[in-house]
């Protein structure tokens, strides 16, 4: 029996892309798949999945899980671009 209000809808069904003033763009030819951007994302808006079709510094990195930015939920804080040790993420202003 539910006697208190219980939240049941996941916030991942919301779309927050309008919060952003600039968007992070990953340059995969510099990305070593270290996942530091994934680790520090406060919005959990970076997913890790292997994608051999993306470019990489060399073939060894292609097999690894690549970060992908979920632009529906990214708020454009810029932590990923600041923390990337290879400068592979650039912040591009939204129109």
Residue 6: DSSP 8-state: -
Q: Is 77 in the site for another protein (CB under 8 A)?
A: yes
Show Cβ contacts of residue 4 under 8 Å, excluding neighbours closer than 6 positions.
Answer: none
Q: Is 70 in the site for another protein (CB under 8 A)?
A: yes
Task: Tell me the number of residues near another protein by CB under 8 A.
Answer: 38
User: CA-CA distance, 46 to 68, in Å (whole number)?
Assistant: 5
Q: How many CB atoms lie within 10 A of CB 73?
A: 19
Least distance (Å) between residue 44 CB and another protein: 5
Q: Is 54 in the site for another protein (CB under 8 A)?
A: no
Q: Is 17 in the site for another protein (CB under 8 A)?
A: no
User: CA-CA distance, 68 to 71, in Å (whole number)?
Assistant: 9
In the complex, the residues that contact another protein under the rule CB under 8 A are 5-16, 19-20, 32-35, 39-40, 42-45, 48, 64, 70, 72-73, 75-79, 81-83, 91
């Amino acid at each position: 029996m539910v006697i208190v209000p219980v939240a049941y809808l996941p916030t991942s069904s919301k779309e927050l892309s309008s919060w952003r003033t600039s968007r992070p763009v990953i340059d995969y030819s510099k990305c070593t798949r270290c996942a530091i951007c994934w680790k520090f994302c406060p919005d959990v808006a970076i997913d890790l999945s292997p994608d051999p079709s993306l470019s990489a510094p060399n073939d060894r990195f292609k097999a690894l899980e690549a970060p992908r930015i979920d632009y529906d939920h990214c708020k454009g804080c810029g932590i990923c671009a600041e923390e990337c040790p290879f400068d592979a993420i650039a912040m591009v202003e939204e129109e």
